[in-house]
Amino acid sequence: MKKHLVIYLKIILFWLAYFVFARSLFMVYNYSYTKNLSAFDTIGSFLHGIRLDLSVTGYVAMLCGILFAFTIPFKTKIISTILKYLHLILLFVATLIITADCELYRNWGFRMDSTPLLYLKTPSEAMASASVGILILGFSLFAVIYVLSFLSFNKIIVKPLCKANPGKLYGIPAFLLIAASMFLPIRGGVGLAPINSGSVYFSKNLYANHAAVNVVWNLNYSISKMDKVNKTYSFMDSQKADSIYSQINIKTDNKQQVVLNQESPNVIIIMLESFSSKVVGCVGGEMGITPNLDKIATEGILFKNIYASGDRSDKGIVAILSGYPAQPTTSIIKLPQKTQSLPSLAKSFSEKNYSTEYYYGGDVNFANMRSYIISSGYNNIVSIDDFDSKYYNSKWGVHDHVMFDKFLNDINNEKGKFFKTLFTLSSHEPFDVPMKDVFPTNNEPNKYRNSVFYADSCLGEFITKAKNTKWWNNTLIVLVADHGTRLPDNSPVYVESKFTIPMVWTGGAINKAQIIDKIGSQTDIPATILSQMNYNVSDYKFSNNLLSQWQGYAFFNYNNGFGYVDNSGKFIFDNTGNKTLLLEGENSNVEQRAKAIMQIYNSDFIKR
């Protein structure tokens, strides 16, 4: 019995040590963030993170306690064999999660949760973001850590247990009691509220808090809550929220500025993958990366202060085409029963007898995109399936120059009014583009710059050719990014600059070149376009007309957090830690506005 207790304690210590190592690996892998931590935050990540480490260890210890209880009277070879193969599985799963999380965090800015599971229906698309080098590194890390951890467990736990004598019968209730006691570390204590990821948040530095989170615990918790998409965010009385929201969303479309020279032009929306304002010169970003978009902006209408609604394509698409805001912990595009209730530009134009088509060079099944596109009312979808395999020259599908060529050719064959949407893909990770490097590709930021430069060149060539077509003078073209990105400066997931994106209107239907400084969002695109054409926009309840007298603001969501920007200030809030990350302004109005908007948006999402 004593020998079994010692070995049982070793199992607990082994798993705690394993998670300390996992946290160290995470912080080394994400050194670009870790190097900016203070000593207090670095040490704090380990000290505070122990709570979730204990919780996961508690699950393993409970399982092992039950195993010991029912096998203790028998030969120890039986229990050691079961224990060995049990940990062969547990360590495989845990190590896979831990190594995958290191790379996912570098790209997404939050610890792995159930989000990657939403992409398992299209594994090739999900894997396309990773370069061969990253895949090799990830597999190598996984293999080394898995083998060493299992061999260590076998040496420290299994072999000594084989040499132990069978235990006494009283060991059965003893280990059952011990197993039951693991409820305490699993739950995080005896308090009324069970442990959650916010329990380990301790710093004003969000990355330090993220480092403290045990990713195995986080994934398990997130999966257990997957069916609870209707999470409520309540910050104030609903009447107060309604009052605040109505005050900042007064409709003034009857006083709008008219920027089109005709009432019913053709409309094209080109969504530019990952075009962050940080690399677009015309909106204050680095010069020389998007020379074509910068030139187009001088000839058309440049909206200088536009924000993405969310941090991923699946959120940006819905914001742009339906005027519907992003969600903090899920995406409405994954829920067909909800997306079918949304308005869409395709539906609005179809009602006016426009033909409607959606173009994407990749797999439209990715992220449940097809379901949304179809329910949005597009007459036709053009995707990777419409191209010969010889054009499959990108990990995501066909490159932008191939898609733009087909796009132009199809438009040239149109006979009537049309609304078309093109979503580019070449500037998506792993930034694999078919051109000679303009920026040395010895680092990821320059690979990103090269991919944007390439996509911009494809866009420029398309616009140049379009100007010589018969349809140019009767067409409005909206160029807008689907979301921002952490690159090239490796921004934290929540910062405002990660959500700033360019938007340019061009085409022969524009009456004059100008700059619009008003703060706005992707969600305002439908109301702004349709109002110019005197269409009914009442269905787009969260979309405002950027060309009206409306005061302007932007609201964005990142993974379980949100931000708000208007002319009076900025506010960023982390829901997990229940902490304000940024508050700028002369008064608290921005905080109240932000929380009211989050509450209103969330309430509408739940009701759909």
Measuring CA to CA, which residue among 264, 255, 266, 254 is closest to residue 506?
266
pLDDT category of residue 295 using cuts at 50, 70 and 90: very high
15, 109: one domain: yes
Domain containing residue 49: 2-224
SS3 232: coil
Residue 587 inside a domain? The answer is: no
The pLDDT of residue 227 is 64
Distance CA 493, CA 105 (A): 9
> Is the same domain home to 198 and 276?
no
Average pLDDT over residues 344-360: 97
- Residues 198, 266, single domain; the answer is no
pLDDT digits (tens, 9 = 90+) for 112-137: 888 777 676 677 776 777 788 888 99
Per-residue pLDDT tens digits for 406-458 = 999 999 999 999 999 999 999 999 998 999 999 997 899 999 999 999 999 99
- Over residues 554-567, the pLDDT tens digits come to 999 998 899 999 99
Element (H, E) at 556: strand 554-558
Which residue from 164, 176, 180 is spatially nearest to 1, judged by alpha carbons? 164
**Does 255 score more than 90 pLDDT?**
no
Sequence-separated contacts (24+) of 334-343 with Cβ below 8 Å: 334/118, 334/367, 334/368, 335/229, 336/368, 336/371, 336/372, 336/375, 338/605, 338/608, 339/371, 339/372, 339/375, 339/376, 340/375, 341/608, 342/318, 342/375, 342/376, 342/608, 343/526, 343/539, 343/540
d(C-alpha 561, C-alpha 493), whole Å: 10
Calculate the average pLDDT of the chain: 92
Same-domain pairing of 179 and 310: no
Alpha carbon distance 365, 371 (integer Å): 8
**Considering the domain boundaries, does residue 51 fall inside one?**
yes
Q: Is 78 found in the same domain as 220?
A: yes
Q: What is the mean pLDDT of residues 466-490?
A: 97
Lowest mean pLDDT among 181-185, 363-367, 451-455, 528-532: 363-367
pLDDT of 74 strictly over 70: yes
Strands 418-423 and 569-574: unpaired
Does residue 570 lie within any of the structural domains? no
Dihedral (Cα; 107, 112, 113, 118), 10-degree rounding: 50
- The CATH number for 531's domain is 3.40.720.10
CA distance 100 to 115: 13
Above 60 in pLDDT, residue 539?
A: yes
Count of the separate structural domains present in the chain: 2
Q: How confident is the model at residue 147 (pLDDT cuts 50, 70, 90)?
A: very high
- What is the reported pLDDT for 274? 97
- Same domain, residue pair 408 and 453: yes
In the predicted structure, residue 547 carries a pLDDT above the cut 80 = yes
Position 371 confidence tier, pLDDT thresholds 50, 70, 90 = confident
Does residue 208 share a domain with residue 274? no
Same domain flag for 408 and 459: yes
